[in-house]
């Protein structure tokens, strides 16, 4: 098999791609292929990783034109065409790169972020939106012991607590590609997660993103849900938040 990798460093006139033949190993992941590339051909190849177990989200990158975690993406299944995902178009998908999906694995940096070097991107904008949401529980008072909740509330809450902040959804979102001020799917899903948490006493969570670049900027392409490695559905949270805000505004108008 061959690995085709995006290369860039500061001072380079333009990015290019390096392609090398690698020895495929049993259950080889894209992350392992990158290590082999680095060990055998070019130790200057730069990429991010940490846990190697689909928990930290650090190794999210564009693999065969789909944002994925390199540590959980199997090379063999990619070459067999078993991991194809149909996404709404965005610029990174439309960039023409000559590669044979049956023989090569194409690895590029996560879209919509400035490239620092090779596959490493600057995610500051992503985490700025996340921090803007104030992602901490704000209880009405400090509980004497555990902050308990009804187990029946867990299923809805766990839909969103599973987010590992890998930014795959941000990289796949066409709106993020066009509007750099859009808060993004992950931040909005996380905000909704605190809104529905029965332990949280901040009743104005939804209003925090009731702005042009918040809930209302989403065009409902659905790419965010498709690429999330943990199955988090930001599009569902955004739709429900919009519905709640509209209902609240209608009731306010009726009282006038």
Q: Are 104 and 30 in contact (CB under 8 A)?
A: no
Residues of the chain with CATH 3.10.20.30: 2-120
**Contacts of residue 144, Cβ cutoff 8 Å, sequence gap at least 6:** none
Task: Find where tokens 């979102």 sit.
Answer: 173
CATH number of 124-255: 1.10.1060.10
Q: At what angle do helices 185-195 and 124-132 cross, to 10 degrees?
A: 20
Q: Are 174 and 223 in contact (CB under 8 A)?
A: yes
The pLDDT of residue 256: 65
Residue ranges of E strands in the chain: 2-7, 16-21, 60-63, 66-69, 104-108, 115-117, 120-121
Residues of the chain with CATH 1.10.1060.10: 124-255
The pLDDT of residue 253: 77
The pLDDT of residue 111: 95
Q: Does domain 2-120 have CATH number 3.60.21.10?
A: no
Across the 256 residues of the chain, what is the mean pLDDT of every consecutive 10-residue run?
Answer: 94 93 92 95 96 94 96 95 89 85 95 97 96 93 84 90 96 95 97 95 95 97 96 97 94 75
**Dihedrals phi, psi of 108, to nearest 5 degrees:** -135, 165
Query: What is the 3 state secondary structure string of 140-199?
Result: CCCCCCCCCCCHHHHHHHHHHHCCCCCCHHHHHCHHHHHCCCCCCHHHHHHHHHHHCCCC
pTM of the entire predicted model: 0.92
């Amino acid at each position: 098999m061959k690995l085709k990798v995006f290369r860039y460093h500061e001072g380079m006139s333009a990015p290019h791609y390096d392609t090398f033949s690698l020895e495929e190993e049993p259950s080889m992941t894209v992350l392992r292929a990158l290590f082999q590339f680095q060990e055998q051909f070019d130790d200057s190849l730069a990429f991010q990783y940490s846990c190697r177990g689909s928990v930290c989200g650090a190794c999210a990158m564009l693999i065969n034109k789909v944002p994925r975690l390199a540590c959980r993406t199997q090379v063999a299944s990619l070459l067999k065409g078993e991991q194809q995902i149909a996404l709404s178009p965005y610029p990174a998908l439309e960039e023409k790169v000559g590669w044979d999906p049956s023989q090569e694995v194409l690895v590029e940096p996560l879209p919509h972020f400035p490239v620092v070097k090779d596959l490493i991107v600057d995610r500051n904008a992503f985490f700025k939106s996340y921090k803007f949401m104030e992602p901490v529980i704000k209880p009405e008072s400090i509980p004497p012991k555990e902050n308990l909740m009804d187990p029946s509330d867990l299923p809805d809450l766990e839909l969103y607590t599973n987010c590992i902040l890998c930014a795959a959804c941000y990289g796949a979102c066409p709106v993020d590609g066009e509007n750099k001020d859009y808060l993004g799917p992950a931040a909005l899903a996380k905000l909704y997660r605190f809104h529905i948490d029965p332990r949280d006493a901040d009743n104005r969570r939804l209003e925090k993103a009731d702005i042009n670049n918040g809930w209302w900027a989403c065009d409902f392409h659905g790419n965010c849900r498709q690429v999330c490695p943990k199955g988090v559905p930001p599009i569902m949270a955004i739709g429900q938040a919009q519905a709640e805000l509209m209902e609240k505004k209608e009731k306010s108008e009726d009282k006038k």
